[in-house]
Structure 1
Amino acid sequence: MMQQRGRAVWQVLETRNVYDNPWIGVTEHDVLDPNGNPGLYGVVRVRSLAVGVLPVDAAGMTWLVGQQRFPRDYYSWELPEGGGTFDDPQGSAARELLEETGLTARSWRELLRMDLSNAITDEQAVGFLAWDLEEGTAAPEACERLEVRRLPVREVVEMAMSGEIVDAFSQTMLLKADLLARRGALPGDLAQHFI
């Protein structure tokens, strides 16, 4: 059994690529689990980095993007987010923010790095807090039909707490920023909008 830092790990016996498109691939593995049992494990390989932005303006307002999500067929309110490059997460986040809301930001702070659904996919995410905002014109992708709302950031944090926002990436960015504000770890002019 292979060991990693003193712990048993999965042992891959054979690997097959079973599906590919420009956005994802699916790989199937014959494995021995950490207890030595044989099994089959499928992994969704995501080709881009997930990037997200919590924009906050001087009045303490933020922007939510609403859209129909295909996999579970429901309407979802989320922070601006999308796919980006691994070598320029902030540049990718800035592009998504502009495309979806028309906003540009002069100040940025990385909020978090996280794995999304790490039992079945290798998808990684980087979330940012953005401020010193300037409004412009949104330019969504041709496949997107978006609705944009501007709301007080405190209200949006409550939407995450109540379950009205169910997108895990949005929830995590909102709750992390709220906690940082309460701990005094955000600039004072930003922190006041959360507390």
Structure 2
Amino acid sequence: MSRDKQEPRQLSMRLRYQGRKFGFEVAALRLPNGVEGEFETIRHPGGAMAVPVTGDGRFVLVRQYRFPVGDWLLEFPAGTVEDGEDPAGTIERELQEETGYRARQWRDLGRFPLAPGYSDEHIHAFLARELEALAEPPAQDEDEDLETVLLTEDELRDAVAAGHVDAKTMGGYLLARDQL
């Protein structure tokens, strides 16, 4: 890829909102072609996700209601990287909290941007294997109502085709599929 184009020049920035997990800001930019405009960005600390696979080859996902899209989605377990936490620690904790499973084998699959048109969030993906069900799963976060779902690879592909899966899950599956 060529990187010989100039980057936009920031003229000003104003923060509109700082929430518990992310911020929202508006920046005035001058593009390399001279056009000026305001660009809105969600600032996010990043996330971590697991692609958990059972010994018999099924994927462990969670089903949860996502208010912004008004629907129940199937997703690989994931969470926001907390301040001072590394992504591997984030996903080890989230896998247990969200699914009631622990993984004994982890492989870093890399990271990717989720929605670069309006957010700086990158998600770190990990393949989780050698899963074991916890005798007593930790309590879920108060604001989560999750159901653990196990799907075969064909069922996962069908769910993707039907629009029942989020983008991070599709990206994680693509990063993991050659290692399954």
Q: TM exceeds 0.5?
A: yes
* Residue of structure 1 aligned with 2:69, choices 72, 76, 81: 72
Where structure 1 has 5 or more consecutive residues not aligned to the other structure, the ranges are 181-185
**Which of 97, 114, 117 does residue 116 from structure 1 map onto?**
114
SS in structure 2 at match of 1:8: coil
Residues 41-66 of structure 1: CA deviation (Å, up to 9, x unaligned): 111111x3211111111111221101
Q: 1:101 to 1:138 in 2, by over 3 A?
A: farther
1:146 aligns with 2:174: no
User: Displaced runs of 4+ in structure 1, greater than 6 A?
Assistant: none
Measure the CA separation in 2 of the matches of 1:5 and 1:79: 33
Distance 1:144 1:37 in 2: 43
Deviation of 1:138 after TM superposition, in Å, equals: 4.7
- Partner in structure 2 of residue 23 of structure 1: 21
> How far apart in 1 are the matches of 2:118 and 2:149?
32
Residue 133 of structure 1, CA deviation: 1.0
Equivalent residue number for residue 159 of structure 2 = 159
SS of alignment partner, residue 156 of structure 2: helix
Q: Residues of 2 paired with 1:164 and 1:45: CA distance?
A: 26
TM-score (norm 1): 0.83
Aligned to 2:172: 173
Structural RMSD (CA): 1.8
* Structure 1 CA distance for aligned equivalents of residues 159 and 169 of structure 2: 10
Provide the C-alpha distance between the structure 2 equivalents of 1:39 and 1:130, rounded to a whole number of angstroms. 43
Query: What is the TM-score normalised by the length of structure 2?
Result: 0.89
- Tell me, yes or no, if the aligned pair for 1:50 and 1:125 is still in contact at 8 Å: yes
Q: Take 1:72 and 1:130, find their aligned partners in 2: how far apart are those partners?
A: 28
Q: Which amino acid aligns with 2:146?
A: L
Partner of 1:61: 58
Q: Take 2:130 and 2:13, find their aligned partners in 1: how far apart are those partners? A: 48
Aligned length: 176
Work out which structure has the larger RCO, using CA pairs closer than 8 Å and 6 or more positions apart in sequence.
2
Q: 1:129 to 1:115 in 2, by over 3 A?
A: same
| Equivalent residue runs for 1:31-110 within 5 Å | 31-46=29-44, 48-85=45-82, 87-110=85-108
The answer to whether the Cα contact below 8 Å between 2:72 and 2:164 also exists between their aligned partners in 1 is no
CA contact (8 A) 2:17 2:25 kept: yes
Residues 75, 89 of structure 1: alpha-carbon distance in 2 compared, 3 angstrom cutoff: same
Structure-2 residue corresponding to 1:183: none
